Amino acid sequence: MLTAGKPRIETMCNICHRSDFTVLYPAGVAQLNQVVKCNGCGLMYANPRKPADYIEMQAWPDDPDWNLEEHLPQRFEKERLQVRDFDNSRDLLNRLHPTRGKVVEVGSSLGFLLDAFRKDGWNVLGIEPDPNASRYAIRKKCIDTINSTLEAAKLASESVDVVVMLHVIEHVPDPIETLQEIARVLKPGGHLVLETPRYDTFMFKLLGRRERSLSCDGHIFFFTTQTLRQTYTAAGFELVRLDNTGRSLTLDRLVYNVGVMSKSKSVQRIAGSLSRRLRLNEMSFTINVRDMQRVCLIKPVSESRAHS
């Protein structure tokens, strides 16, 4: 999703602001960007890098005739299927907020998860920079959705009970700034559920540059449990619960991921052909290799009062 020709951005560590780092993977080895590790706090990040992929996403053609099921069936099935992976966190939020309230999903995409929240009695709002996904959520799911980034949406301060942000923080230019904006819009005692890939795992040690999430050119940050904790702590949040989660996926998606990890165009073509012939999109399963971390965080009431 990154456009050739745009200027590359050299940056320092977003947690400790040091500019010295160790190169883990040169550009083109793990992903398009060079991947480095801060010599201070250990944060892994792309440096230098092209602008965040949501900038290009916002410029995608706004096509009123765009049909997701036809154009991106794998994405449609992936998002529909993975709603069930969030059931335990949804149950936790329902217990923490027995009278419900307003939940905002940052990166709400097609609206499947917000539809599940709405059925639980929540007032829901989506924020999604992809204009076509945003339209799908509005038209097909009747989800109130703002086609923008969180910062551009300019939500009112202390107006939201819960924010959900799944696989977004690794894409943003400054994770701490994004989390501070979430803290601003959350009510005192409000909760944030955040999910992102994890890189202090056996799978990362085993696969290295071939690790699936590392291979995504849109990923800027690559968090371990410790560096994610440093990030949300710096933004003023406290931990309520940590889960190392799995995911539901079709065999079609699994074969696609194997093709990505192979870093071979011929293997990717064979994988795609195999999936179509065997109709692997019709078979699904759930797997947990503990390579994703999901945290439920709270905005402390005392901190909010201190800043008021």
Is residue 26 included in any domain, yes or no? no
Domain hosting 183: range is 51-307
Number of domains in the chain: 1
Q: Render each residue's pLDDT in the chain as its tens digit; 308 residues.
A: 333 334 566 788 999 999 999 999 999 999 999 999 999 999 999 999 877 777 777 666 666 666 666 666 777 888 888 899 999 999 999 999 999 999 999 999 999 999 999 999 999 999 999 888 898 899 989 999 999 999 999 999 999 999 999 999 999 999 999 999 999 999 999 999 999 999 999 989 999 998 889 988 999 999 999 999 999 999 999 999 999 998 887 777 666 666 666 666 776 676 666 666 666 666 676 888 889 999 999 999 975 444 44
Q: How far apart are CA 129 and CA 108, in angstroms?
A: 9
Is residue 209 included in any domain, yes or no? yes
Is residue 6 included in any domain, yes or no? no
- Tell me if the pTM is above 0.95: no
- Taking the CA of residue 79 as centre, how many other CA atoms within 13 Å lie in the half-sphere pointing to its CB? 21
| pLDDT score recorded for residue 305 | 46
| pLDDT score recorded for residue 56 | 74
CA–CA–CA angle 201, 87, 287 (5° rounding): 40
Is residue 41 included in any domain, yes or no? no
Token pair, residue 126, equals 């989506």
| pLDDT score recorded for residue 266 | 73
Question: Under a CB-based contact definition with an 8 Å cutoff, are residues 129 and 57 in contact?
Answer: yes
Hey, is 120 helix, strand or coil? coil
Q: How far apart are CA 216 and CA 13, in angstroms?
A: 20
Is residue 64 included in any domain, yes or no? yes
| pLDDT score recorded for residue 1 | 31
CATH classification of the domain holding 217: 3.40.50.150
Is residue 194 included in any domain, yes or no? yes
Residue 44, Cβ neighbours under 10 Å: how many?
24
Q: How far apart are CA 264 and CA 143, in angstroms?
A: 39
Is residue 118 included in any domain, yes or no? yes
Is residue 266 included in any domain, yes or no? yes
Q: What Rg, from alpha-carbon coordinates, does the chain have?
A: 19
Which CA distances in Å does 151 have to 22, 130, 184? 31, 15, 11
